[in-house]
């Protein structure tokens, strides 16, 4: 059983991971002005390295987590991401900041393939555990809007990187103190699942990866663009950056609690149909938001972020269902390398797309991406012995997978 202090720090690490990745997007207006750029859209492409490494770094991070140890990798995560954020605070131009953000992205890649498998290993209700972990991560998204907004307003954008960086270093010290050393790396432990036939596993992995790509595209477009979307659609209504930051944080906090509900349902409801139902509501919400203004846009933003955040737990839940703990970090790393690596293009495209076509075109494109996600989820095969709610997986180790 994972101790409570360790579980708390693993959940806090998820918050830290997402908060750090969005400091740049939350402070981009102030950074662009400081660097002498007329438009924030011109600075956005410099953040693509962070999200590219967030994906590409997942593969080696997952392999090291299984073979070298997950505790050791989490220590690298805390100390590395904290140091990289402090380096970002010291940069003097866009290229230096881009390099520092890329370094930050490399360390941020560690958490998902390492921290989540470490957290769910002994969980008797994995859906609930994943739901709480997802809530923590999305509170980090909300925290980026609030913390960055306040620090930028009262201390400058450099403090928005430096203060969280020091906090991450302190979390690393606490994790080293409360988490005992592993007696053996995960790859050397006894098996807990019966392996699926290779062809069936490949099909399931393909579905997981494609769904993860499309979901990550939506997540990156939304979380990196929502701040500027609010500023544009509330122009003349609310112009104070701190107030808009609190409004955006409110969206994320409300939407984050969807993961608690979804996590609980995953333990009780068949995963495929629950996932499809949540994804199905995304396209109409994005289409409506494309033409909405002011408070109508704000209400729709809450609803579509509930749907975006509510879909997040499913890829981790599928890995818990179908993959043995000895190799979960590697499998997670493989799918994250592909999905996050491809979805990092959203960060690079966001500024140019909005500059050329506006947020309405972006939201319509997001609706079409959601349609693709739904089609992929519906293609998830039935697997005898691996069906039903995630909470019934205790007997799966004796089941032989067969395509239904």
- How far apart CA 373 and CA 308 sit, in angstroms, is 11
pLDDT of 30 higher than 50: yes
Q: Pick the residue with more confidence: 200 or 88?
A: 88
Is the separation of the CB atoms in 373 and 272 below 8 Å?
no
- How far apart CA 114 and CA 1 sit, in angstroms, is 17
pLDDT of 277 higher than 80: yes
Share of the chain above pLDDT 90, in %: 40
Q: Which residues on neighbouring strands pair with residue 403, listed in sequence order?
A: 383
SS3 173: helix
Share of the chain above pLDDT 70, in %: 92
- How far apart CA 244 and CA 294 sit, in angstroms, is 12
Out of 3.30.9.10, 1.10.260.40, 1.20.58.110, 1.20.1250.20, which CATH number does the structure's domain 4-398 have? 1.20.1250.20
In the chain, count of helices (H) and strands (E)? 17, 0
pLDDT tens digits for range 236-268:
777 777 788 788 888 888 888 888 888 888 888
> DSSP label at 272?
H
E strand segments, 288-369: none
pLDDT of 397 higher than 50: no
pLDDT of 279 higher than 80: yes
């Amino acid at each position: 059983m994972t101790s409570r202090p360790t579980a708390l720090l693993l959940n806090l690490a998820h918050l830290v991971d997402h908060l750090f990745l969005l400091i740049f997007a939350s402070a981009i207006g102030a950074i662009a002005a400081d660097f002498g750029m007329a438009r924030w859209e011109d600075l956005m492409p410099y953040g693509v390295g962070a999200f590219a490494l967030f994906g590409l770094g997942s593969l080696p991070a997952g392999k090291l987590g299984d073979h070298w140890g997950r505790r050791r990798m989490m220590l690298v995560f805390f100390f590395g991401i904290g140091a990289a954020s402090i380096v970002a605070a010291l940069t003097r131009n866009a290229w230096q900041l881009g390099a520092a953000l890329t370094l930050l992205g490399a360390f941020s890649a560690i958490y998902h393939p390492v921290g989540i498998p470490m957290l769910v290993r002994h969980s008797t209700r994995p859906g609930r555990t994943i739901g709480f972990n997802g809530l923590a991560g999305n509170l980090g998204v909300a925290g980026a809007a609030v913390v960055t907004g306040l620090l930028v307003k009262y201390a400058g954008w450099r403090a928005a990187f430096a203060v969280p960086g020091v906090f991450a270093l302190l979390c690393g010290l606490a994790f080293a103190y409360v988490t005992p050393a592993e007696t053996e790396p995960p790859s050397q432990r006894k098996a807990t699942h019966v392996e699926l036939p290779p062809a069936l596993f490949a099909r399931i992995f393909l579905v997981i990866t494609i769904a993860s790509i499309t979901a990550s595209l939506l997540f990156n477009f939304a979380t990196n663009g929502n701040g500027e979307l609010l500023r544009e659609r509330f122009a003349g209504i609310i112009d104070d950056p701190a107030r808009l930051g609190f409004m955006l944080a409110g969206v994320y906090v409300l939407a984050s609690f969807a993961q608690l509900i979804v996590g609980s349902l995953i333990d009780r409801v068949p995963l495929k149909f629950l996932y499809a139902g949540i994804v199905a509501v995304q396209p109409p919400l994005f289409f409506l938001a494309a033409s909405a203004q002011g408070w109508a846009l704000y209400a729709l933003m809450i609803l579509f972020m509930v749907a975006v955040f509510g879909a997040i737990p499913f890829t981790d839940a599928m890995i818990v269902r179908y993959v043995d703990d000895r190799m979960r970090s590697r499998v997670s790393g493989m799918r994250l390398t592909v999905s996050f690596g491809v979805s990092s293009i959203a960060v690079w495209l966001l500024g140019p797309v909005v500059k050329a076509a506006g947020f309405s075109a972006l939201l319509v494109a997001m609706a079409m991406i959601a349609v693709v996600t739904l089609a992929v989820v519906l293609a998830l095969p039935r697997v005898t012995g691996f069906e039903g709610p995630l909470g019934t997986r205790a007997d799966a180790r004796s089941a032989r997978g067969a395509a239904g």
